[in-house]
Structure 1
């Protein structure tokens, strides 16, 4: 079987330092005061609970 040769593109072509620099900016895109969960812990708690409940439900009914 022939080997497929692919060139590195995007993040794969960058140095690990450059990858970390770009990735660290993701959490800084919105000021801390404007993050809804940072301002309201109860809202964050409700969202986490809701997401947990959704992930626990079956995706389709059981078929005999």
Structure 2
């Protein structure tokens, strides 16, 4: 695998590199249940903040995109 060079010109870590390293460290120290729990909490927060209309709108957009995808196949 090629070595990544995610450093800025002044040799500081880029945001991308920091995020990747943080994600890798989190994955090493947490299990499947951790990710299920934070996913559940995120879903609940989204539902609380956006409500039913939000889900209707994104569902319609997803349906439209999928229909276009099917028609182009």
Same fold (TM over 0.5): no
Q: Which has the larger radius of gyration?
A: 1
Give me the TM-score of the superposition, normalised by structure 1: 0.41
Give me the TM-score of the superposition, normalised by structure 2: 0.39
